[in-house]
Structure 1
Amino acid sequence: MEHIPPELNPDFIDGIKAKSRDMGGDTLAQHTWAVLARLADQRRLRPHLAEQFGDPRLWLRLYWGCFLHDFGKAAAGFQERLQDDPPPNDWSEGRHRHEVLSLAFVDWMFPRDHPDRLPIIGVIAAHHKDLNGENGILPRYGAIRYDDRQRARLQFLIDQLDSPTIDGLWRWLTEFGNAWAAALGFGGAESIQPARRAVNTQSIMGALDDLVDYAQDQRGTAVSITLRGLILTADHAASANTDPFPNMPLNEAVAAKPTQGFTLRRHQTAARETAAGSHLLIAPTGSGKTEAALLWAARQMALYPSARLFYTLPYQASMNAMADRLWTRYFRRGDSAADFSDETVNRAVMIQHSRATLHLYQQMMTADSGAAPRAVADLARRQRDRARLNFYPLQVFSPYQMLKAAFSLKGYEALLLDYTGGLFIFDEIHAYDPERLALILEMMRWLRVTFGARFFVMTATLPPHLQARLMDALGIGADSALTADSATFAESQRHIVRLLEGALTDDAALVRMLADYHQGKTVLVCCNQVQRALALYDALRAHVEPERILLLHSRFNGGDRADKERRLLEAFHLRPGWQARGGRPPCIVVATQVIEVSLDVDFDTIYTEPAPLEALIQRFGRVNRARADHALVDVHVMRQPVEGGDVLPYDEALVRRSLGTLEQRCADRPIDEGQVSAMLGEIYQGDLLADWDRRFEGKTRDLRRILQAMRPFQSADEATFQQFYQMFDGVQVLPLENENDFLDAWENRGFLDASRFLVNISWRQYAMLRSRGRLMGTGERDDIPRADVPYDPERGLDLYHEAVEDSDE
């Protein structure tokens, strides 16, 4: 808890509480000091924020808004609710809001026509609830025109304050307001002197009327959103007793650590020497794009400091792996073996996705500290909560986290505060369909223009039409597009493309895979659909030792998925470089698209179903990585299936053209990644390009309408909330045969441990199961649906052959 220095403690109001005893029991003064201390953190982290928004009084307004924001908690009814086991009272039964009562004190310092009045009213009124909506401030208390019920509610608030309480608040303000400002570094606040005015319903009504006018003035939308984001961040962090927010640890020396002792490639040097702003990098797989991105970020920090760096990836497994990579290579002390889940040492990097808490929990349990599962779960939740408070300077997440802000989901203002002036690294931009890509690029454009964000987009494959749209969204020209040199592309040649007749499930293909395995090779087999991956795995495991074959797709529960990933890296020795050290046993891994960008693994060869060229390039990238001898190896692409539903989740015409281009350009020859963009340009033409453009432009227009409809102090309604999560997130189900294990884990080790038995599926698959009567409640815990379909730790969730297949992730 943040302590007030003794000489600045207004102990004469210690009887006024802000929190109940079970929430820490802070006095109003203690909590307010903590909020202001966390606000001071934000000022330290964002020294150019006022300049960026052209508002030199921004921090002064925030200071006084935060100082006054909880004055209404002095209400007698509110204080009664903070007692131990309080009975219901008129305050709770009337669902009254302390922040509305706090508005009664604004006139003491900011009367009508004062230049700071409107922003301060906004900070106070909206630090918990939206203005409108079912639980909004204005429907409960009114504005402009007040009915009798609303007038009575306002009078009730005023009647909650007696004269001694008002006197104590006045004394606190006059004796300590400016002194606190000076102590916490909010210079200039002392220029405002209070003048005591009446505390009555008229003072609240005047503030509410002004609030309506302020919220409707669209000229200040970005500033208003930022003001709310700042008080939400400071207030929530103070309530959670969060430590001071850490400074950004990335600088040019830290960014150079992994490249020490090596000569930088040309594109890495170019990234290190960029001008301020966004950039694009096209470079082959394995050429050090991640190192280039961190060098770019450090350079941008030196040119114009940023409080936050976001590393953006499409899949959860790749996010987990990247967070660990950033922690171990850049920020962990050389003498430490701590995982990034160790909160005692890691104040730099964190992941954000729907299973982040479970991943942290599993890391901690694997560390075998001896702590009880429930205690470990509490630690994992604490890190999750810190991440939600935007505590960590480096965050690894998916673009869908960003889009929460675009859709104005609750708390979006705090997200936009974090994105303001932020640095974003985008990896694997090719992995999204046109509709989602349109949302991502339009969000990037809006964040760049409105909030000064900077982006570094890196990829090995980029079609010309996408490159043009990407550069437009980033607002860059050719001088900001970095490309690896021809020597780097030449060195990247690692694969000879072999096009094979038939499908992966044909006997001839199975014989080839098994022959490679028996010759001592590590073999990756990649399918486009989970159901075919299951069939292929069943066909192969009859001929392979059980411990040397593994199946990986998106329909495993969290526990089994984590075990498989560990087995890949540890038991199968598939990390790049293991082959050079010798002793790597053969294996077969059957996987879906999840393998494309998920783990840092290295196979000897691959057999893959036909897919779009950009997906095939990523699959090839899992083969022959980090080999010192630069030997070429075969990568095998089947010619079937390419028709109808068998080619899903991909477009049939796109897959056919990709195969045709491979045949013409690469069959039985090394594939040159320097020519991939040109090859993609050949593929995306005519009707295929027109359809891509149509889908892209439609979603671009949709998001522009959504962004234009954004209003300060107002979050999305429940329907929009549900629409967003059904658009981007799946749903978790519990396989029926795991129910006893789930309930036992919940009873004995807590829900977090039990959640490792849940499996993610798409909403479309969820609807299919429900239509077939395959879903049911879970008895006393009927909020988690049970799925009456087979589940096996080796094979995962089997939705049956007749199930409609979505994209795997």
Structure 2
Amino acid sequence: MLPLDQILAKSVNYGSLTLLEHTQQVTQAIELFAQKYAFDFDVQIARKGAIIHDLGKAHPHFQRKIKKVNGESLEESREWDFIHRHEISSLAFLPCFPQNEWDSLIDLVVGHHKSILNDPSERGILDLMESQGDEMIENHLKDWENWHTYGIQILQIFNLPTTEISKINAEKAILYAVKYCKKKGFGFSPARGLLKSADHFASAFTHATEQKLKPLFEVPNLSFYDDEKRKNEIYPLSQVSTDDNRKHTLVVASTGAGKTDFLLRRCKGRVFYTLPFQASINAMWERICKTVPNEDIRLLHATSKIVTKGKIDEQILQPLAGSAIKVLTPHQLAAIIFGTSGFETMILDLEGTDIILDEIHTYSDYSRSMVLEIVKTLLRLNCRIHIGTATMPSVLYNELKKILGGENHVYEVKLSDEILDTFNRHQVSKIEAEEIILDILKKAFEQKEKVLMVYNTINKAQNAYLFLKEMFPEIPVMLIHSRFKRGDRVVLETRLKTEFNGDESEKFGNGLMPCLVISTQVVEVSLDISFDRMITQAAPLDGLIQRFGRVNRKRNKDTIGKYKPVHVIKPQGNVLPYKMDILRASYEQLPDNFEVLEERTLQEKIDNVFPSLETKDIDIYLIYNDGAYSIKELTNCKKAVIVEALEIESATCILECDRAKYLTATWEERIMLEIPVNYKTITKQKQEYEQLQVGAFPFVVPQSEEDYKLLGLQLVEHDNFI
């Protein structure tokens, strides 16, 4: 027999971590999580669950697979050709624990990777029992007499009492677990969420787990935002008190009024800060990191695993609970209403925290319905909800206010018309024919202006970049969109803010030289950039107003009352990912001939475009309705509702040149190599690309590094929101 230190829990691609090491790390994590979550967990039971949860990895089937041991003969290969789930084998160690603890331990262990029933891979304990019967138990206890001693050794190392477990008693334990799982009703399993959160955390940080646990569950130090020095009449919300006893917040204010500071000042506990797009959360995360001293301020990138057979195992990868502040998108909260994998952990992490929903203007009826349901669920979790916007239709505002409990529970803040007038800063010109764009650019560059061009799709932005770079070879030109590596996106955003943006530029963006940035809607939210002129495709009015906020953004005594031009291209032809009727209505609401767009009129204009609350009935997807759960406990939603119904970046690609690096990288290093894409975009090519079976299961795209650096990832584009 091999010594215990050669029994692995993780493959070489995950650091060749031993089973004992991983168990120790998960145990450290679960002890903290069990104490810190708002739910009343039994810490000792939780600890035992962490110790037993992966003991089944000592099974020779798992060890052969993880070490890539191939059969020396056809007969040997056939002998080991069966489905093995290590968590089921782990349950064979239940006899070492008092009988009255078994149910709690099963809750912790049995579903920490798979749903017990109707799992997408059909490998849950009840799935396998139904398809294989007694053979399932026999396979999971194969060679029991030899390998179970590793589990006994680990239990002894943790000073837990042990007993010799015969194969018959091991079988009885697994059968007990099967019967227990069959009796499960509808509901939410906190125990499953607890074990998953500890397991994910330890898997992410391995040997650094103990150190990384230290700053968790801290209430963020937001004193920077309360500093008297930040009060300034230029930013009117900075002078509005946040000392209101009502639990929730609704604030409507122009871009640049100090909304971010105000929302953060309203928070009392740990914070989840949401923004509409995954592409826009980098900048906010970076901004908060510079001003909040807490160590664990986390950026959450959610991706769905697209498995090779074309199925989608939808989950929030490595949610990593306990951060002081977590920056994410509302879509990444969607698990709590749809019951996708990881939803229990998310529920535990959210309970009792402050949730900021910033700029939740959304473009699809599905997304709008989703946000409303998320708010309802957050209320059940005793969260304090703070909503900020510059562009919310009144019908949506009123519905949110009603859900939050009305004026007795909601602190409402709006700017007066007089203050709104000081935010007038844009003169609008409509473009009927795109041919005149070159003349507009020539004039702008002669005047040494910084110009921002915004397109609705990545393909159009890439094509415009190639064309205009050739047309204006002397002008610095930059391309930015969502389809760059996450690590490169940070670099691009830094360049955008330092080289191409306003007074901070040291190179050419300080007014001495013109420049051009070509982008998609990734610039709409949270990026603190200010240009002299914009040319943009038509978009829904709420989104257009957000785009306009990147022009003449710098607000001081010298800029108030000064106007800069925005040019809007008339919608025509194929306008996907948007709807033509919305674009036409939005375009009609805009002034023309460089007339000033008045801030005090924006609400009326938005309400004219969105007179009713357009939603989709998503009740059939919800796991909680009419006061009760409709999902079986220890399972998740099998249907990939988030990918199918919502228009989000839900799959991952990497470049072929990064393949080897990705296979051996840490979890955080892998994130920086990943390029988020819409699943529908890659559907047509997914059979052409290799798909790795580690990390976020990325598709490997054979694009050259040279082409990537020029344009970002290139794919045949599905007509959907990007």
Describe the shift of the 1:574–1:386 C-alpha distance in structure 2 as closer, same or farther (beyond 3 A).
farther
Describe the shift of the 1:84–1:294 C-alpha distance in structure 2 as closer, same or farther (beyond 3 A).
same
User: Deviation digits for residues 728-760 of structure 1, max 9, x if unmatched?
Assistant: 3366679xxxxxxx6666679989899999976
Equivalent AA in structure 2 for residue 471 of structure 1: K
Equivalent AA in structure 1 for residue 135 of structure 2: R
1:246-261 to structure 2, matched below 5 A, reads 246-251=215-220, 253-256=222-225, 260-261=229-230
Aligned to 1:608: 536
Q: 1:463 aligns with which of 393, 410, 434?
A: 393
Q: Does 1:118 align with 2:103?
A: yes
Matched-pair contact (CA < 8 Å) for 1:533–1:592: yes
Aligned to 1:348: 297
Describe the shift of the 1:472–1:236 C-alpha distance in structure 2 as closer, same or farther (beyond 3 A).
farther
Q: Does 1:589 align with 2:517?
A: yes
Equivalent AA in structure 2 for residue 294 of structure 1: L
Equivalent AA in structure 2 for residue 608 of structure 1: T
Describe the shift of the 1:152–1:169 C-alpha distance in structure 2 as closer, same or farther (beyond 3 A).
same
Q: Determine the C-alpha separation between the residues in 2 that align with 1:62 and 1:613.
A: 51
Describe the shift of the 1:747–1:168 C-alpha distance in structure 2 as closer, same or farther (beyond 3 A).
closer
Aligned-residue offset at 1:247:
3.0
Aligned to 2:420: 490
Describe the shift of the 1:33–1:764 C-alpha distance in structure 2 as closer, same or farther (beyond 3 A).
closer
Q: Determine the C-alpha separation between the residues in 1 that align with 2:466 and 2:141.
A: 73
Describe the shift of the 1:19–1:506 C-alpha distance in structure 2 as closer, same or farther (beyond 3 A).
closer
The higher relative CO (CA closer than 8 Å, separation ≥ 6) is in 2
Aligned-residue offset at 1:522:
2.1
Q: 2:272 aligns with which of 310, 319, 325?
A: 310
Q: Determine the C-alpha separation between the residues in 2 that align with 1:170 and 1:777.
A: 44
Aligned to 1:138: 126
Aligned-residue offset at 1:203:
6.7
Aligned to 2:589: 661
Normalised by the length of structure 2, the TM-score is: 0.76
Q: Does 1:622 align with 2:550?
A: yes
Aligned-residue offset at 1:463:
0.4
Aligned to 1:380: none
Higher helix fraction (1 or 2) = 1
Aligned residues: 684
Aligned-residue offset at 1:81:
6.4
Q: Determine the C-alpha separation between the residues in 1 that align with 2:27 and 2:457.
A: 53
Query: Which 10-residue stretch deviates more, 544-553 or 751-760?
Result: 751-760
3-state DSSP class of the match of 1:624? coil
Q: Does 1:446 align with 2:377?
A: yes
3-state DSSP class of the match of 2:475? helix
3-state DSSP class of the match of 2:538? coil
Q: Does 1:511 align with 2:480?
A: no
Aligned-residue offset at 1:109:
4.5
Q: Does 1:698 align with 2:647?
A: no
3-state DSSP class of the match of 1:606? strand
Q: Does 1:49 align with 2:39?
A: yes
1:360-439 to structure 2, matched below 5 A, reads 388-390=319-321, 392-404=323-335, 406-439=337-370
3-state DSSP class of the match of 1:547? coil
User: Deviation digits for residues 377-436 of structure 1, max 9, x if unmatched?
Assistant: xxxxxxxx9965446433222233323555544444334433333433222211432212
Describe the shift of the 1:330–1:585 C-alpha distance in structure 2 as closer, same or farther (beyond 3 A).
farther
3-state DSSP class of the match of 1:631? coil
Q: Determine the C-alpha separation between the residues in 2 that align with 1:195 and 1:780.
A: 40
User: Deviation digits for residues 254-294 of structure 1, max 9, x if unmatched?
Assistant: 34367645358674576742447442221111111111222
Q: Does 1:729 align with 2:649?
A: yes
Q: Determine the C-alpha separation between the residues in 2 that align with 1:128 and 1:764.
A: 26
Question: Structure 2: 5+ residue runs without aligned partners?
Answer: 305-315
3-state DSSP class of the match of 1:697? coil
Q: Determine the C-alpha separation between the residues in 2 that align with 1:81 and 1:768.
A: 35
User: Deviation digits for residues 555-591 of structure 1, max 9, x if unmatched?
Assistant: 6677876665444333334367999x96543223343
Matched-pair contact (CA < 8 Å) for 2:5–2:18: no
User: Deviation digits for residues 114-143 of structure 1, max 9, x if unmatched?
Assistant: 4x5422222233344442343222344579
Matched-pair contact (CA < 8 Å) for 2:393–2:607: yes
Q: What fraction of aligned residue pairs are identical, expressed as a percent?
A: 22
Equivalent AA in structure 1 for residue 334 of structure 2: L
1:32-181 to structure 2, matched below 5 A, reads 32-46=23-37, 48-50=38-40, 58-69=42-53, 99-100=87-88, 102-104=90-92, 106=94, 109-111=97-99, 114=100, 116-132=101-117, 133=119, 134-140=122-128, 147-150=133-136, 152=138, 159-160=145-146, 176-177=159-160
Q: Determine the C-alpha separation between the residues in 1 that align with 2:391 and 2:129.
A: 56
User: Deviation digits for residues 621-648 of structure 1, max 9, x if unmatched?
Assistant: 1111223213334454557523452x44
Aligned-residue offset at 1:460:
0.8
Normalised by the length of structure 1, the TM-score is: 0.69
Question: Structure 1: 5+ residue runs without aligned partners?
Answer: 1-13, 51-56, 178-193, 333-345, 356-384, 735-741
Aligned to 2:631: 710
Describe the shift of the 1:654–1:232 C-alpha distance in structure 2 as closer, same or farther (beyond 3 A).
same
Aligned-residue offset at 1:700:
5.1
